[in-house]
Structure 1
Amino acid sequence: MKDFEVYSSLKVPKNSKIIVRLDGRSFHKLAKDLNLIKPYDENFYQVMSKVCNELFKEFSPVFVYTFSDEISLLLERIPFDGRIEKINSVIASFTASSFVLHYDADFKKPPSFDSRIIPISDEDVLKYFKWRQDESWKNCIASYGISFLKSKYSNKIANDKINGLKSSEIHELLYQNGINLNDVETYKKRGIAVYRKNKKVVGFNKKENKEQVSYRTYAYVDWEVPKFNKEFFENLIR
């Protein structure tokens, strides 16, 4: 019967980095069930940051990035011998379980995430995450735009008014009505990241009778990520 497992032998290319991207399934419905605050629910993002931190500790990625209900993991040490079925199923199920554990709520329906694998070269890492960060910014504009319009009009009229508007036009509409998106919290515009940082540890060397400085790495949850650039990712993957 093992022969019937037709995809079980599929593996990612050897000696390659991969990105695993997770997306919440039907989270627009979940947002209604949980009565999330629009346009941004801080508790939801606290939970997502904790989920990312758990993923970082469990699977040792180089970098984890999240916005909205999306999470991307950059992996250079590939788990499960590169088996695609295993990577997708285990990481997606771990993410959903972590979300439930960290979210203090009675779910009407169990939340779930889908997962996909993207082989990637060092040269394309920046392109990928800049693409996702640009999407985070577009999501920020659209979220504030529809929330503002729904505060003035019915849902149908608000949806009709925003339909077809460019991001720049929504941004200008908000600005003309006293909402400057440049002033909103960074994580809403650029997302949240988890990666390794060094911290300075000062100890005492009894043998030499003097203070001794060392550095230890730790998982850093960054709510103030910069606009992604070449230098940022060169420091991560060098």
Structure 2
Amino acid sequence: MKEYEVYSSLKVPKNSKIIVRLDGRSFHQLARDLNLIKPYDDNFYNVFSNVCEDLFKEFSASFVYAFSDEISILLDKVPFNGRLEKIDSVIASFAASSFVMHYNTQFRKPPAFDARVIPISDDDILEYFKWRQDESWRNCVNSHGIFYLKSKYPNNIANDKINGKNLSDVHELLFEHGINLNDVDTYKKRGLAVYRKNKKVVGFNKKENKNQVSYRSYVHTDWDLPKFSFDFFKQIGVLK
């Protein structure tokens, strides 16, 4: 019966790099069920950062980036012998389990993520993450915009007022009413990321009778990301 399995033979090339992108399923309803604070709920994003750290460690990622209910995982080594259905199903289910584990509450409906695999070259890594970070900014502007409008108008009127407006229009609308998005937390504008950093460790070398400096890597969650650039990814070792 093995031949009846759909996509069982579909594989990612072993020597390629991939990005696995997860998206929360029906997280708008989940936000209502959990009574999340709008436009951004700090507790939700603390939990989301823990999920990102778990994914980073479990799958030996080189970089994990998240905003809203979306997570992008950059993998230098393709897991599960490149089997596409295993990569998608295991990573998505792991993320959902991690979310439930860290979110200490009773869920009305189990949360879930969908997953897609994106083979990528070093030349395209920067452009991919710049694209997603641009989307994070768009999400930030629109979230604050609709939140402000719904505080003034019924939902249907607020939705009509924001439909068709470009980002600069919404940004200007907020600024005119005393809301400066430059002042909001950086992670709300640019997302958050998990990657490895090196820390300096000073120890005493008894044999040479002197202090000795070494460096150890640790998993770092960055809530204050800059705008993505080649220099940023080179500094953290993702690009050379």
Q: TM-score, structure 2 length as denominator?
A: 0.97
CA displacement 1:58-87 (0-9 Å, x = unmatched): 001110000000000011111111111111
Contact 1:21 1:72 in 2 (8 A): yes
Distance, in Å, in 1 between the alignment partners of 2:175 and 2:191 is 21
Offset of residue 234 of structure 1:
2.8
Q: State the match for 2:137 in structure 1.
A: 137
1:218 aligned to 2:203? no
Structure 2 counterpart of 1:24: 24
CA contact (8 A) 2:14 2:77 kept: no
Unaligned ranges ≥5, structure 2: none
The residue type equivalent to 1:219 in the other structure is: V
Aligned to 2:106: 106
Identify the residue that residue 205 of structure 2 maps to in structure 1. 205
Structure 2 residue matching 1:164: 3-state secondary structure: coil
Corresponding residue number in structure 1 for 2:151: 151
Partners of 1:185 and 1:104 in 2: CA distance: 24
Report how far residue 13 of structure 1 moved: 2.1
Equivalences for 1:59-98 in 2 at 5 Å?
A: 59-98=59-98
Aligned pairs, number: 238
Q: Deviations over 1:116-173 (max 9, x none)?
A: 0000010100110000000000000000000000111111111111111111100000
- Flag structure 1 segments of 5+ consecutive residues without an equivalent: none
| Whole-angstrom distance in 1 between the partners of 2:118 and 2:22 | 11
SS of aligned partner of 2:204: strand
SS at match of 1:20: strand
Contact 1:88 1:117 in 2 (8 A): yes
Percent sequence identity over aligned pairs: 73
Q: Aligned residue for 2:193?
A: 193
Deviations 1:8-31 (A, max 9, x none): 121112321100000000000000
**Take 1:6 and 1:146, find their aligned partners in 2: how far apart are those partners?**
42
Are 1:45 and 2:37 counterparts? no
The answer on whether the counterparts of 1:125 and 1:233 sit within 8 Å (CA) in structure 2 is no
Contact 2:23 2:115 in 1 (8 A): yes
Higher alpha-carbon deviation: 201-210 or 25-34: 201-210
Scaled by the length of structure 1, what TM-score is found? Answer: 0.98
* 141-150 vs 228-237, greater mean Cα deviation: 228-237
